[in-house]
Structure 1
Amino acid sequence: MSTVSPGKHRGTWRITLLAALAVFAQESTWNFYESQVPPMLREHISSAAVVGMLMGMDNLLGIFIQPWMGNRSDHTRTAWGRRMPYLVVGMPVAAGLFVLLPYAAASLPLLILVMFSYAVVANAFKPIAEALVPDFIAPERRSRANATVKIATSFTTIAAAVISLLLVDDHPKIAFAIPAVIMLISVAVLAATVRDSHSPAYQAAVAESESRSEDTTKRRRVRDTLKEIVRDSDRSRLLLLAAILLFGSAWSASRSLITPFGMETLGLSRGDAGGLTLPSGIAFVAAAYPAALLAERYGRLRVIAGGMTVFAAALVLGTFLRTATGVTVALCIGAAGAACFLVNAAVVLWNLAPSAQVFGTYAGMYSISWASGGFVGPTLVGAMVDGTGWALMLIDIALIAAVAIALVVRIDIGRRLVARTRTHDGRTSRADEEAVTE
């Protein structure tokens, strides 16, 4: 029986916490952006669909920027590693642009320009920070590591809600400065402590590159990865990316539009409506690590499907609880269910990657699907709200989540059937063995 030395275990937890800090740094501004930029836009625009479309602009940009940057970082070789150079440059620039948002709010064209600039820079390093997890952490422990990362992300959701409650109504410029300062402090810690050139994945990628000709290495592009996924007879990766897009649509709509929902349906002030997500952030933190442990025991795909079902059911419940307290409870239940997806979906995709050479590209592929959902979700749900009213917004979101559930169930059934067939025929492989645990 193999054992893990205490030193190695401590090293795993150290890098897990630092990878979580990298994601925490980027999300410290994103969550506040999603909560408080929509009310700025509504001062100039009355249509919920247009507001949703503009809020989805960052995700549309991410569709093109994130996989390209993830792939570019895969092929970067420096003494500092292949991820850290981009993080150290990109995060301070994004923080500076974020601080400018409330100053640009008086002019719609200027506000959109600053939003666009922030989205370009922040999208450029988003998949790079997330790729630190598979770079350093072994496959069997990635759900736990990713749970820690998602817990860190949830703390930024809680922070955004607290800042909304305490500062937005009276001191909006100070409120926007706080997440930017959090990002700057986080990237300073990362710059002082992380050298991803020491990661197992970086070393494996270097070794693989040296074993291949230079011309062959250069031909490994994002479009080649896309073609491989689309043409593969095993549809697991393609269906998973579609499910990520759909659930990303539902999750993003539930976050981006919750402040105007609270204002229009529950009669709350902008600050109080922005605080609706505070308890659900705590619920997510409580559910994230158990979601990883459940996935290791019962299979990641089954836990993902179960969690999404809880999310959709909670939103339906929230539609009929027409009070701030009732909606808050529903959001808490939904966040706990969503944790099962957010902790494990990326891990399933990383584990399906053919080699360590493409972890950044696969992180970008996850991001491209999630970002596509982030663009489609607010726009689609906003259009549905224009037709049916704000009161039914949560049901609109639940309908989108239901389609994602069907896809994940299809993946789980398909992979288990293939694995059992190959086992029966004596043609098992590592991928088949992993299918049972996924």
Structure 2
Amino acid sequence: MSSFPNTPSPETDHAAAVGNPAQSNNWRVGTLSYTTVGLVVLFAWLLWGDFAWNMKERAVYPIAQMLFKQFKASDLVLGLMVTSLPAALGMLLGPIVSMKSDNHRGRWGRRIPYLLVPTPIAVAAMVGMGYTPQLAEVLRALLGEGAPDVTTCRLLVFGSLWAFFEIFTVIANAVFVGLINDVVPQAVIGRFFALFRIVSLGAGIIFNSYFMGHAKENYSLIFICLGLLYGVGFAMMCLFVKEGDYPPPAPAQKGALVVRILEPVKAYFRECAAHPFYLWIFLAAMVGNAAFLPINSFDLPYIDSIGMSHERWGDLRSLTYAISISLAFFIGWLADKFHPIRIGLFALGAYALISLWAGLVATDVTSFSIAYVAHGVISGVFFTGTASMFPRLFPRAKFAQFASAAGVILAIGFICLPPAMGKFLDLTGHVYRYTFVVGGIVAALGVVIFVILYRKFCVLGGSQNYTPPS
């Protein structure tokens, strides 16, 4: 990998941003140029970082579900902490971090510092979660006679560390895709995201096959070991992936403190809402992602309610990941060829039908197993197929800013739907098949929105002639 400072920037030279190996011996994106071997090396480091990231992600969320229930949290609290809190933090921190990253210029680039610095702090929080019982005893000792019972103290400790962990995970997550957008040529970005998905699913298979069945008894060791893997692996990616050169950022706002604070906020919303097409992208992403939230937020209590073992649940997750891995590169190729919007539309239509069927029949281990695997495979098609949608549609110069705006809108679904679903389950006696029904209804709404988005995309030039509107 090498950079060429005098070549056109990605903001002024679309061909350089896209990269076409048929026209030269190099793959190019912005001022970066890769031989095929260099591109493979880049992919290897990015995928290694993604593996470390996803081993962490695959561990913390199902184990957090399990521990919150073990510590006697209600479904409402479970939905708030595991899904809504990360979304709320993303809504608050994402725009700030993304704009700072877009405008940062330094020795390490504009993305790497925002990925590298939060990593050791998130690792420390994971290790702390592993020591929840011991830290809860310390808390009880500090509180003295008026201390809550052991379970409540453990809930307080784990919940606090979970929130701390999520803050620094959100900071890194806000710019991770921005790094990919800056260093991966757009000609292969759909297939790269397919490889990204394969690595993510592979991490899921490893976790569910070898760790999940032992999580209840050994969650401390799992948190500590996977936290260290994440810290080392992700830091290695940050050190070995090099960014190119970027045009100078907009001049810093001058004037009174209030002006310096308010003007960037006004510019953020003004630019992200500059064209109605972007609002339809945001809405489509929010509803599409929200369709899978009801099951993903409550699958663990669902299986407990029908008497399914955690080992079988882990096997089902591994099966869905294996099927998704076999499809991922093909789905990425389809996204490059036919466009992510079309793939998302197809996936949501299929999911609406499957979920509404599952809401009627998934009442025992066998029927739930079929429905759950179908849920996992179709959601995998959606996530893999639409992974390159933002890089294909947003302006490259301010990609992280627009992606964070999409994240803010996504957060509305993540904040509202899981706790509302949890409250509904609390009120209806925990009939967990209703999660499929709600997911199917949201997916059907998503189909309508994706159809509208696709029509507007065609008006703006479609797959061959689209350029981001201003």
Give the TM-score band, short-chain normalised. Answer: 0.7 to 0.9
Q: Does 1:85 align with 2:113?
A: yes
CA distance in 2: counterparts of 1:328 and 1:67, whole angstroms: 39
SS in 1 for 2:371: helix
SS in 1 for 2:307: coil
CA distance 1:254–1:4, shift in 2 (3 Å): farther
Q: Does 1:414 align with 2:468?
A: no
CA distance 1:374–1:44, shift in 2 (3 Å): same
Paired residue for 2:77, among 28, 43, 50? 50
Q: Give the aligned residue type for 2:126.
A: F
Say whether the 8 Å CA contact 2:62–2:300 is kept in structure 1.
yes
Say whether the 8 Å CA contact 1:307–1:337 is kept in structure 2.
yes
Say whether the 8 Å CA contact 2:198–2:328 is kept in structure 1.
yes
In structure 2, the partner of 1:335 is 376
Structure 1 unaligned segments of length 5 or more: list them: 421-430
CA distance 1:365–1:71, shift in 2 (3 Å): same
Say whether the 8 Å CA contact 1:66–1:125 is kept in structure 2.
no
User: What pairs with 1:78-227 in structure 2 (closer than 5 Å)?
Assistant: 78-104=106-132, 106=151, 107-196=154-243, 198=244, 203=245, 205=246, 207-209=247-249, 213=251, 215=253, 221=264, 223-227=266-270
In structure 1, the partner of 2:417 is 377
Structure 1 residue 117 displacement after superposition: 0.5
In structure 2, the partner of 1:424 is none
Q: Give the aligned residue type for 2:68.
A: L
Deviations 1:258-285 (A, max 9, x none): 1111111x21244544554222222222
Q: Does 1:236 align with 2:291?
A: no
Deviations 1:300-335 (A, max 9, x none): 211111012223333334442444454333333333
Say whether the 8 Å CA contact 2:50–2:234 is kept in structure 1.
no
Deviates more, 1:109-118 or 1:181-190: 181-190
Larger Rg: 2
Identity of aligned residues (%): 16
CA distance 1:162–1:175, shift in 2 (3 Å): farther
CA distance 1:19–1:68, shift in 2 (3 Å): farther
Say whether the 8 Å CA contact 2:358–2:371 is kept in structure 1.
yes
Deviations 1:94-115 (A, max 9, x none): 1221122243264222221111
Say whether the 8 Å CA contact 2:272–2:402 is kept in structure 1.
no
Paired residue for 1:393, among 435, 438, 461? 435
SS in 2 for 1:78: coil
Q: Give the aligned residue type for 1:267.
A: G
In structure 2, the partner of 1:404 is 446
CA distance in 2: counterparts of 1:297 and 1:398, whole angstroms: 28
CA distance 1:286–1:374, shift in 2 (3 Å): farther
CA distance in 2: counterparts of 1:158 and 1:369, whole angstroms: 30
Deviations 1:36-62 (A, max 9, x none): 212222234453223211222122111
Say whether the 8 Å CA contact 1:61–1:120 is kept in structure 2.
yes
TM-score, normalisation: structure 1? 0.84
SS in 2 for 1:309: helix
In structure 2, the partner of 1:258 is 299
Say whether the 8 Å CA contact 2:119–2:235 is kept in structure 1.
no
In structure 1, the partner of 2:8 is none
Say whether the 8 Å CA contact 2:194–2:329 is kept in structure 1.
yes
SS in 1 for 2:104: coil
In structure 2, the partner of 1:14 is 41
SS in 2 for 1:131: helix
Q: Give the aligned residue type for 2:465.
A: E
Q: Give the aligned residue type for 2:323.
A: A
CA distance in 1: counterparts of 2:238 and 2:436, whole angstroms: 41
Q: Give the aligned residue type for 2:35.
A: K
Deviations 1:225-249 (A, max 9, x none): 33233342xx322122112222222
Structure 1 residue 146 displacement after superposition: 1.6
In structure 2, the partner of 1:363 is 403
Say whether the 8 Å CA contact 2:91–2:408 is kept in structure 1.
yes
CA distance 1:20–1:364, shift in 2 (3 Å): farther
Say whether the 8 Å CA contact 2:457–2:466 is kept in structure 1.
no
Say whether the 8 Å CA contact 1:243–1:408 is kept in structure 2.
yes
In structure 1, the partner of 2:51 is 24
CA distance in 2: counterparts of 1:87 and 1:73, whole angstroms: 10
In structure 1, the partner of 2:136 is none
Q: Give the aligned residue type for 1:31.
A: R
Q: Does 1:68 align with 2:96?
A: yes
* Greater fraction of residues in helix: 1
CA distance in 2: counterparts of 1:29 and 1:85, whole angstroms: 20
Paired residue for 1:40, among 63, 67, 76? 67
Q: Give the aligned residue type for 1:390.
A: Y
In structure 2, the partner of 1:427 is none
Q: Give the aligned residue type for 1:111.
A: F
Structure 1 residue 291 displacement after superposition: 1.4
